[in-house]
Amino acid sequence: MSQPSTIDVVGVGLNATDTMLLVPEYPARGAKVESHSVRILPGGQVATAMIACQRWGIRTRYVGKLGDDSAAQVHRNEFDRAGVDTRLITVPSCGSQQSLILVDPEGERTAVGYRDQRLALQPGELKREWIINPRALLIDGSDTAAAAQAAEWAPTAGIPVIADSDEAYPRIDALLPNIDFLIVSRDFPRRLCGEPHLEQALPMLQHRLKCRLTAATLGSDGVLAWDGSKFHYAPAYRVSVIDTTGAGDVFHAGFIYGLLRDWPLQRQLEFASAAAALNCTAAGARGAIQSVEEIESLMAKRDLHPAAWDVSKMG
pLDDT in tens, 297-310: 999 999 999 999 89
At 55-114, the pLDDT tens digits run: 999 999 999 999 999 999 999 999 999 999 999 999 999 999 999 999 999 999 999 999
pLDDT at 14 > cutoff 70: yes
**Which percentage of the chain shows pLDDT scores above 70?**
97
Mind spelling out the 3-state secondary structure of the chain?
CCCCCCCCEEEECCCEEEEEEECCCCCCCCCCCCCCEEEEEEECHHHHHHHHHHHCCCCEEEEEEECCCHHHHHHHHHHHHHCCEEEEEECCCCCCCEEEEEECCCCCEEEEEECCHHHCCCHHHCCHHHHHCCCEEEECCCCHHHHHHHHHHHHHCCCCEEEEECCCCCCHHHCHHHCCEEEEECCHHHHHHCCCCHHHHHHHHHHHHCCCEEEEECHHHCEEEECCCCEEEECCECCCCCCCCCHHHHHHHHHHHHHHCCCCHHHHHHHHHHHHHHHCCCCCCCCCCCCHHHHHHHHHHCCECCCCCCHHHCC
Arithmetic mean of pLDDT, 142-167: 92
Arithmetic mean of pLDDT, 245-269: 97
pLDDT at 168 > cutoff 70: no
Does 5 or 42 have the greater pLDDT score?
42
pLDDT at 167 > cutoff 90: no
Q: Which residue from 58, 79, 86, 62 is spatially nearest to 257, judged by alpha carbons? A: 58
Q: What is the pLDDT of residue 131?
A: 95
Task: For residues 214 and 191, give the distance between their C-alpha atoms in angstroms, rounded to a whole number.
Answer: 14
* Mean pLDDT across the chain: 93
Task: For residues 82 and 247, give the distance between their C-alpha atoms in angstroms, rounded to a whole number.
Answer: 19
Bridge partners, 213 (sequence order): 181
Q: What is the pLDDT of residue 2?
A: 44
**Separation in Å, CA 225 to CA 105, 248, 285:** 30, 15, 24
Q: What is the pLDDT of residue 162?
A: 98
Q: What is the pLDDT of residue 5?
A: 53
Amino acid in position 199: E
CA angle, 156 as apex, 56 and 271 as ends, to 5°? 25
Q: 136-139 and 16-22: which strand pairing?
A: unpaired
Q: What is the pLDDT of residue 36?
A: 86
**Separation in Å, CA 205 to CA 163, 181, 192, 249:** 13, 11, 8, 21
Does 151 or 196 have the greater pLDDT score?
151
**Separation in Å, CA 193 to CA 168, 229, 302:** 10, 19, 34
Which of 43-52, 115-124, 166-175 shows the lowest mean pLDDT across its residues? 166-175
Q: What is the pLDDT of residue 1?
A: 45
pLDDT at 187 > cutoff 90: no
Per-residue pLDDT band for 196 (boundaries 50, 70, 90) equals: confident
Q: What is the pLDDT of residue 194?
A: 85
pLDDT at 296 > cutoff 70: yes
Q: What is the pLDDT of residue 174?
A: 80
CA angle, 144 as apex, 82 and 15 as ends, to 5°? 25
- Phi, psi values for residue 300, rounded to 5°: -65, -30
Tell me the whole-structure pTM to 2 decimals: 0.95
CA angle, 120 as apex, 119 and 125 as ends, to 5°? 100
pLDDT at 4 > cutoff 60: no
Arithmetic mean of pLDDT, 147-153: 95
Amino acid in position 163: A
Task: For residues 90 and 88, give the distance between their C-alpha atoms in angstroms, rounded to a whole number.
Answer: 6
Domains of the chain with bracketed CATH:
46-61+124-313 (3.40.1190.20)
* Longest distance between any two alpha carbons in the chain, whole Å: 57
Task: For residues 189 and 171, give the distance between their C-alpha atoms in angstroms, rounded to a whole number.
Answer: 16
> Are residues 201 and 218 in contact, defined by beta-carbon separation less than 8 angstroms?
no
pLDDT at 170 > cutoff 80: no
